[in-house]
Amino acid sequence: MSTTEPATAGGGPTDSAPEPNYLSHKQILVILGGLMAGMFLAALDQSIVGTALPQIVSEFNSLDKLSWVVTAYLLTSTASTPLWGKISDLYGRRPLFIAAILTFLAGSVLSALAQNIEELIGFRAVQGLGAGGLMSLAFATIGDVIPPRERGKYMGYFGAVFGLSSVAGPLLGGVLTDGPGWRWIFWINLPIGLVALGIVAAVLKLPHVKRSHKIDYVGAAVVTAAVTSLLLAVSWSGPTYGWGAGTTIALLVGAVALAVAFVFVELKVAEPIIPMDLFKGRIFSGYAGYTFLLGFAMFGALIFLPLYLQAVKDLSPTRSGLALLPMIIGIFSASIPSGQLMSKTGRYKIYPIISAVLVGGAMVMLSTLSMTTPYWQLAIYMFVMGAGLGLSMQITVTAAQNSVPRQHMGTATSTMTFFRSMGGAIGTAVYGAVLTSRLEIHLGEIVPNATQSMVDGLAKAANSVEALHALKEPMKGWALHGLVDAMGDVFLVSLPFLVIALVLAIITPEQKLAGRSDAPKPDDENIESSAAASMH
């Protein structure tokens, strides 16, 4: 059983949790295939849709509702993540993982058959609901069947899958959109999902101790409302109506008020979705904040690098996906060895620290991109970025799992996934706002005798790769130059957040990973915190 920090999470006595049922290496490898396939589904769909959006807009003639195709998926996947984790703690991982796969596949089929933009938005929300379960339950199941000490060598592969899907999404989306059509970005989920479903249904048979339980429906409703308000403000109202508009301010204020209300609700109910006592542990709370900040930073690179390649380097969606290969290599080359070393030594603290430094360094390098930057130079920057992400993506999840009581494994895992998703969602919106504002400023400096109408026209053209390439010289050169300069500012904006993440990684205590036979006791590194806890 995992060792735990002195502060124990609320929501039920620890003796209600099932005893560890760790599996053999051969059993783990079989289960791993199904879990990785399920996680690949959810992670791939976050990025594959982007390259198909221009064709979707052309077919449905609905540019004004374009952002909702992405927002609907993001909204339901983020808001449902804590709920999937909590319910799986009560009813078991296997039935919930199967339900998540079936929900995701149903949303995929319906999205592929959508006849208008409104239907597609609604069906994408169904997809997102399933994706929220796929991502968090895969990690929670790993926590059930593999002791923390051995978890690193397997979690490294999960990090590689996440990185592969993030970069392969634009590539696969481009190939399918250029080939059989955009609907195939949804049909492709069926064979992958059915494989995952078959493996999970056949081999994922874990013992689960049933206990009396109460679902926190009020908490679920409040956290969903809070996430909805925040994501609508940052991904819809802000960019559309302006950040000072009444609608945007009202949604942001509502999000803060609902978040505060959620904390009060969770402190009062018997079985909260996210037990607030989890955050009393310095390891869990430290890495939750770290995960949020790294998600905030990394999504900027993952979104704007394809834009740079397609707009500035004039690559097709397919070729731009291939050009991101150095990032995949960086993720693989860091996540797998670091996972192996973590399993060998039982230590992990150094990896998030190095990760924050590497990602910060990559952001500084990416901020120097220009119209003439050679690809080999960009490839080095992307490799460093990938290595930084690979060093922490799943290690922080393992550290958090190792620090909480076993009956809260699903809740802790889904909460970490929730923080990463929220960081990515907010970061994407913030970077978009920075790009828009800085683009106009740079265009005003670049264009000779620029008028506001000329700047507005060029800035509008920069929202579309096709519109940019349709411009005539010298306007095309001005617009591309302004876009590159604005991207440099976007990458630099991430640095303060990465500095905070680095500080969190340094000050968060380390707890040696538990092995198969370890008793639930604090190790030497946590003696001081144990003593401090006993004084309160």
Predicted pLDDT at 359? 92
The overall average pLDDT reported for the chain is 76
Phi, psi of 533 (to 5 degrees): -65, -35
CA dihedral 26, 208, 146, 162 (to 10 degrees): 90
> Picking from 158-162, 244-248, 503-507, which range would have the lowest pLDDT averaged per residue?
158-162
Phi, psi of 391 (to 5 degrees): -75, -10
84 vs 503, residue with greater confidence: 503
Residue 4 has pLDDT above 60, yes or no: no
Residue 12 has pLDDT above 50, yes or no: no
Residue 417 has pLDDT above 70, yes or no: yes
Predicted pLDDT at 435? 79
Residue 48 has pLDDT above 90, yes or no: no
Q: Where are the alpha helices (DSSP H) in 282-324?
A: 282-311, 317-323
Over range 52-61, report the average pLDDT: 70
Over range 317-330, report the average pLDDT: 79
**What is the torsional sign of CA 492, 158, 392, 262?**
positive
Residue 411 has pLDDT above 80, yes or no: no
Predicted pLDDT at 233? 79
Residue 523 has pLDDT above 50, yes or no: no
Predicted pLDDT at 356? 92
Superfamily classification of domain 14-216+269-512: MFS general substrate transporter like domains (1.20.1250.20)
Predicted pLDDT at 383? 93
Nearest Cα to Cα of residue 404 among 293, 282, 515, 505 = 282
Count of Cβ atoms closer than 10 Å to residue 26 Cβ:
7
Residue 114 has pLDDT above 80, yes or no: yes
Residue 15 has pLDDT above 70, yes or no: no
439-494 pLDDT, tens digit per residue, is 778 777 777 776 666 667 777 766 666 677 777 788 778 888 888 888 888 888 88
**Max avg pLDDT among 159-173, 276-290, 507-521:** 276-290
211-229 pLDDT, tens digit per residue, is 556 677 788 788 878 877 8
Predicted pLDDT at 266? 83
Nearest Cα to Cα of residue 484 among 433, 424, 443 = 443
354-378 pLDDT, tens digit per residue, is 999 999 999 999 999 888 889 999 9
418-440 pLDDT, tens digit per residue, is 788 778 777 777 777 777 778 77
Predicted pLDDT at 275? 78
Predicted pLDDT at 11? 39
Over range 155-170, report the average pLDDT: 68
> Picking from 56-60, 257-261, 493-497, 525-529, which range would have the lowest pLDDT averaged per residue?
525-529
Q: Please report, as a single letter, which amino acid is at residue 13.
A: P
Over range 80-105, report the average pLDDT: 82
The span from the CA of 527 to the CA of 536, in Å, is 15
387-397 pLDDT, tens digit per residue, is 998 888 778 87
Nearest Cα to Cα of residue 512 among 9, 155, 147, 160 = 147
Nearest Cα to Cα of residue 76 among 244, 224, 208 = 224
Domain boundaries, the chain: 14-216+269-512, 217-268
Over range 508-517, report the average pLDDT: 71
Predicted pLDDT at 379? 93
Predicted pLDDT at 16? 45
Tokens of 223: 């956290």
